[in-house]
Amino acid sequence: MKFLHTADWHVGKVLRGRSRFDEHVKVLDELVGVALEEDVDAVIVAGDVFDGAVPTPPSQALVMRTLMALQEGGREVVVLAGNHDDPRLLDDVYRPVLRQLGIRVIGRFRRPDAGGLLSWTARTGEPVRLAAMPFLSQRYVVRALEALTGTPDQHNRDYAHRFARLAEALTEGFRADTVNLIAAHGTLPGGRLGGGEREAQTIFSYYFESAAFPPSAHYAALGHLHRRQRMPGPCPIWYSGSPIAVDFGEERNTPGALVVEASPGRPADVREVTLESARVLRTVTGTLGELEAMADGLGDAWLRVVVAEKPRAGLADDVREVLPNALTVDVDEAFRPTASRRRTAVTGADAPTPRELFRAYLDHKGHEDERVVALFDRLYDELDEREG
């Protein structure tokens, strides 16, 4: 059988105040085109279809339209909840409706006999088993009492251990004569970050080990890290990466997806597919004159601009006059006044984020403890999710 592995769409993403909706329309249309051209038997969307827990109606309409287009022709489509998605929305709203159309949606972990282990027969005739493992928050996998009494290292081990137990339960139904697949959303140690992932949910306390996946699996389709990459393990394990560069930390990523061929008795064959519909993200540096000289060669790229001049009133406005696609404007560190070099934003630039302010405070106080930073990141993300 042949299937398409994709993840981390982040529909609804707003980058420095600019909507990416039109880009997402083009990118997801291109993704549907890949599924049709390759004539895949199935599509796995391994989490983070939305960028936030409360997606806008246009974002929901685009995702719904894309999933239905992917399913045309009788393809199996499987969608997991990621850490950006609201599992209740996927389970309680999307799941009952889309199941009538042949699209399987999994928002929360389920028992193997209650939708955690999916079974179907591919159009090519092979029986398929897929263990579905949506994102699992640490506060659910590690009980509250243990969180109050245990150490951080114990919590990390507990998360990885319990994830492995869940994987074991979900994959017990794998057989020698079936195509055995795993779809999961989370972080493996050693994975290279794309640059736009949520910090609090890519730290050590959310790691699980590749040993959780059994050798009987022909392929593990992962989401969460935005850089496309293969991970070491007892079976072929891949992150598909995001089909769109989500933030400037990902400007060197190659957006795309994976086309996978699998059959009983042999490891899967994986082929990378590049998607080119989204606008490029670029960081450019120079004086105002140098930036103006390079403007014609930048096309429609979204820009992060670093100005090699001393800060002054109106500098950001002058930059945006010659580079209208400049989303952020910063002054090169070498040109900042000494007292402000620790700041991440300067006159005319975007205000520092709460994370940046907290790190600057710790730096000012002389505190260097990554555990405190990680706890702040987790708290901030949980509040962000709650407020939608």
Q: What is the pLDDT of residues 359-372, one digit of tens each?
A: 878 776 666 667 77
295-301-307 Cα angle (round to 5) = 55
- Res 356: pLDDT: 80
Its domain, for residue 295, covers 281-387
Verify that 368 and 266 share a domain, yes or no: no
User: What does pLDDT average to over the chain?
Assistant: 86
Which of 254, 274, 294 is at the close of a domain? 274
Residues 19 and 106 in one domain: yes
CA distance 162 to 214: 15
Task: Answer yes or no: do 29 and 59 share one domain.
Answer: yes
Q: 149 and 102 in one domain?
A: yes
Distance CA 156, CA 222 (A): 20
How far is residue 348's CA from residue 328's CA, in Å, rounded to a whole number? 9
CA 177 from centroid of its chain's CA atoms: 32
Rounded mean pLDDT of 289-318? Answer: 91
Residue 388's pLDDT is 53
Same domain, yes or no, for 69 and 111? yes
Q: Report pLDDT for 201.
A: 42
CA atoms of 221 and 185, how far apart (whole Å): 9
Express as a percent the part of the chain with pLDDT over 90. 61
Residue 190: the pLDDT is 82
Which pLDDT score, from 0 to 100, does residue 64 have? Answer: 96
Residues of the chain with pLDDT > 70, as a percent, come to 84
**Contact between 155 and 208 (Cβ < 8 Å):** no
The answer, yes or no, to whether residue 321 has pLDDT greater than 60, is yes
Last residue of a domain, one of 227, 247, 274: 274
Same domain assignment for residues 264 and 299: no
Question: Among 253, 233, 251, 252, which residue's Cα sits nearest to residue 241?
Answer: 253
Q: Residue 235 to residues 210, 217, 261, 282, 287: CA-CA distances in angstroms?
A: 9, 6, 14, 36, 51
Q: How many CB atoms lie within 10 A of CB 365?
A: 8
Q: For residues 45 and 48, what is the distance between their CA atoms, to the nearest angstrom?
A: 8
Q: What is the pLDDT of residue 348?
A: 44
Least confident of 161-165, 199-203, 282-286: 199-203
CA pair distance 303, 53, nearest whole angstrom? 27
152 and 189 inside one domain:
yes
Residues 207 and 150 reside in one and the same domain: yes
pLDDT band for 378, please (50, 70, 90 cuts). confident
The lowest-confidence range among 66-80, 81-95, 157-171 is 157-171
Same domain, 76 and 191: yes
Range with the largest mean pLDDT of 288-292, 354-358, 374-378: 288-292
Q: How many CB atoms lie within 10 A of CB 317?
A: 10
138 or 142: whose pLDDT is higher? 138
CA distance 79 to 47: 7
Q: Which of 117, 119, 115, 125 is nearest to 90 (CA)?
A: 115
Task: Report the candidate in 272, 277, 198, 225 with the shortest Cα–Cα distance to residue 27.
Answer: 277
- Domain count of the fold of the chain: 2
Q: Would you place residue 145 in the very low, low, confident or very high pLDDT band (cuts 50, 70, 90)?
A: very low
Residue 144 pLDDT exceeds 50: no
Q: Same domain for 151 and 67?
A: yes
Q: Which tokens go with 179?
A: 């195509």
Q: What pLDDT, on the 0 to 100 scale, is given for residue 123?
A: 87
What span, in angstroms and rounded, lies between the C-alpha atoms of 179 and 94?
A: 27
Structure tokens that stand for 300 in this block: 């429609």
Q: Give per-residue pLDDT as tens, 69-85.
A: 999 988 999 999 999 99
Q: What is the DSSP letter of 11?
A: B
Chosen domain end from 274, 291, 322: 274
Task: Tell whether 145 and 191 lie within a shared domain.
Answer: yes
Q: Are residues 157 and 179 in the same domain?
A: yes
Mean pLDDT of the region 224-244:
94
Q: What is the DSSP string of 331-356?
A: E-GGGS-GGGTT-S--TTSPPPPHHH
Cβ neighbours for 19, distance < 8 A, ≥ 6 positions apart: none
Position 135: which residue type? F
Rounded Cα–Cα distance for residues 122 and 179 (Å)? 9
For residue 255, pLDDT beyond 50: yes
Residue with tokens 């999307």: 94
Q: pLDDT tens across 21-52, in order? A: 999 999 999 999 999 999 999 999 999 999 99
| pLDDT value of residue 347 | 42
Task: For residue 267, give the CATH number of its domain.
Answer: 3.60.21.10
